[in-house]
Chains A and B, each alone.
Chain A
């Protein structure tokens, strides 16, 4: 009797195992199809950027040659990467890099300091400030952009780097992310340092900041993507090439009648590289800390 039952379960297990095996196969096939859909446009971009003939690029689009380049050349990159010249994107790329570095750098300092004081400070209005910061998160950038343009143009700030950096340094989301990260660290850290007579800034600077690598990485990636990909704000506040970022330059180029696809593709590839590097450097910490705090609130 018990033998019978046992063999029945064994058979069931066996059947389930083979079912799992074929399920794995189907799942792997699905993932490969999705990967193809997601990656092939990017791959096509890369391949096209290596072709020198802009008419050929469009002609190739209709066939599998869109994914193949017989004699790859870096001439598009050489042309586009220049600092001067008609289609030189090096300058815009440099502008974007300056804006990216300054925004993220200042943002890490300003937001982490605020998050730290909100988590561990002794200010009386702390809880109130925290709830205000959280409430501000609801305001979308798009709905303050009109008055902001007036404000910065009255202040004579149009066409500068500052106007593309300073307004986006402080952010409710990143203050909150830092607050959350600091608040979950053990109180003994703070108390022990305080006993030793360390000042608040000292405790932040030498103890909490070095421990907050995951938060710093997450905020760097998020702020980096945001700063790098800004489009609406820079078209409203830049009129000349002086501080224009690469996103606006590529889009302007797109509006022209005869598009130099080869150069556009090369410029696009160049635009992907810095943010890709940032992502690859920090992704280890990014997923766990960003998502953990975002979903669980």
Chain B
């Protein structure tokens, strides 16, 4: 989300002091307390702990030997681990593929549904269905679609190419596995982006289009000089959300490929969970989680900068 701080409501700032009586203060504290306490215990504390744990040799199961502070050793070990770099490379590849496929499809669909097509509300609801479908269910569906060699996808490809395209081992071939994950992820999540784009399109005032029409702009010029600039914040938002989501890729990989074949679908979060819970090296896994946080932070800051440049 673009959580930029909005102005407080004007009234709330200049409230006469005499009304700030004790009873009211207690009530306000009481209403705010549950959220603050929960956020502190379950978000702030573990967040700070992750930095601490990352610099210790903490194992998953408590051992008699005390936990030692080992500084940045964990980070150095991770940066020397080829598998970590493979996982980072894989999520980058994933992002590189999923953005054009997912966002492109979402943008195109939103443009189409923004026209006065028949049943467009039905379509809008329909296209959102995969987005509310659990990723595990999506994996069950696509696990069958990807069956090798006689799954539906291979059959369709064979039919369309009149048998020229050989069946593809979607999830079993290291060259294809990540792309297959891209396909099912884009299918699942694109409904969200489509709705965001639709809202962005609705936010562009009609007067701008009318003015462009009077100036003699054709459909393409109107699209390029009115629609695209009007959608700048939406584009930034969609790109950032998709990138952050992509770097957190986990469930699809855990259910369908376990990082294989040949580490071709290993991802940062999957690597983290394996290090922490299969190898039981919690300190090392926490170091990965700190790195993941830093990546997400950089992307979020980049978004702020972009939005500021576009003067939104």
Residues of A within 8 A of B (CB): 24, 27-28, 30-31, 34-35, 37-39, 41-42, 44-45, 48, 57-58, 61-63, 66, 109-111, 113-114, 116-123, 126-127, 129-131, 133-134, 136-140, 142-151, 166-170, 172-173, 175-176, 180, 183, 187, 190-191, 194, 199-201, 204, 225, 228-229, 231-232, 236, 247-248, 250-251, 254, 261, 264-265, 268, 271-272, 275-276, 279, 283, 287-288, 291-292, 294-297
Residues of B within 8 A of A (CB): 1-6, 8-12, 15, 19-20, 23-25, 27-32, 34-36, 38-39, 42-47, 49-50, 53, 58, 60, 105, 108-109, 112-113, 115, 117-118, 120, 123, 125-137, 139-145, 147, 150-152, 155, 187, 195-196, 198-200, 203, 233-234, 237, 244, 248, 250-251, 254-255, 269, 272-273, 276-277, 282, 285-286, 289-290, 292-293, 296-297, 300
Cβ of A144 and Cβ of B127 under 8 Å apart? no
CA distance A261 to B2 in the complex (A): 42
Cβ of B20 and Cβ of A122 under 8 Å apart? yes
Cβ of B269 and Cβ of A142 under 8 Å apart? yes
CA distance A93 to B24 in the complex (A): 43
Cβ of A170 and Cβ of B187 under 8 Å apart? no
Nearest opposing residue in chain B for A231, CB measure: B251
- Distance between A128 CB and nearest chain B CB, rounded to angstroms: 11
Cβ of B140 and Cβ of A250 under 8 Å apart? yes
- Distance between B149 CB and nearest chain A CB, rounded to angstroms: 9
Q: Is the interface of A mostly helix, strand, loop or mixed?
A: helix
Given contacts A61-B151, A143-B296, A272-B133, contact A129 B251 (CB under 8 A): no
CA distance A137 to B203 in the complex (A): 25
Cβ of A122 and Cβ of B24 under 8 Å apart? yes
- Distance between B289 CB and nearest chain A CB, rounded to angstroms: 4
| Residues in B whose Cβ lies below 8 Å from that of A264 | 140
Given contacts A150-B282, A295-B200, contact A39 B251 (CB under 8 A): no
Cβ of B32 and Cβ of A129 under 8 Å apart? yes
Nearest opposing residue in chain A for B249, CB measure: A142
17 residue pairs of the A-B complex, CB under 8 angstroms, read A30-B112, A31-B123, A61-B155, A63-B155, A113-B34, A114-B34, A123-B28, A130-B5, A142-B289, A166-B38, A170-B34, A187-B10, A201-B27, A231-B250, A271-B136, A272-B137, A296-B2
Most A CB within 10 A of own CB, among B24, B30, B203:
B24
Cβ of B139 and Cβ of A119 under 8 Å apart? no
Given contacts A44-B141, A143-B293, contact A236 B277 (CB under 8 A): yes
CA distance A149 to B135 in the complex (A): 22
| Residues in A whose Cβ lies below 8 Å from that of B30 | 201
B31, B44, B255: the one contacting A204 at CB < 8 Å is B31
- Distance between A176 CB and nearest chain B CB, rounded to angstroms: 6
CA distance A116 to B147 in the complex (A): 51
Smallest CB-CB A-B distances: 8 pairs: A114-B35, A291-B199, A170-B38, A147-B49, A297-B2, A187-B11, A143-B289, A167-B42
| Residues in A whose Cβ lies below 8 Å from that of B289 | 142-146
Cβ of B117 and Cβ of A166 under 8 Å apart? no
Cβ of B35 and Cβ of A175 under 8 Å apart? yes
Given contacts A287-B195, A295-B196, A295-B233, contact A139 B43 (CB under 8 A): yes
Q: Apart from A204-B31, A254-B139, A279-B132, what are 19 other A-B pairs with CB-CB below 8 Å?
A: A38-B130, A41-B142, A61-B150, A61-B155, A62-B150, A119-B9, A122-B20, A123-B25, A127-B8, A143-B289, A146-B285, A146-B286, A167-B42, A172-B3, A232-B251, A275-B134, A294-B196, A295-B233, A296-B2
CA distance A288 to B131 in the complex (A): 17
CA distance A240 to B199 in the complex (A): 44
CA distance A136 to B44 in the complex (A): 8
Given contacts A27-B112, A119-B9, A151-B49, contact A142 B248 (CB under 8 A): yes
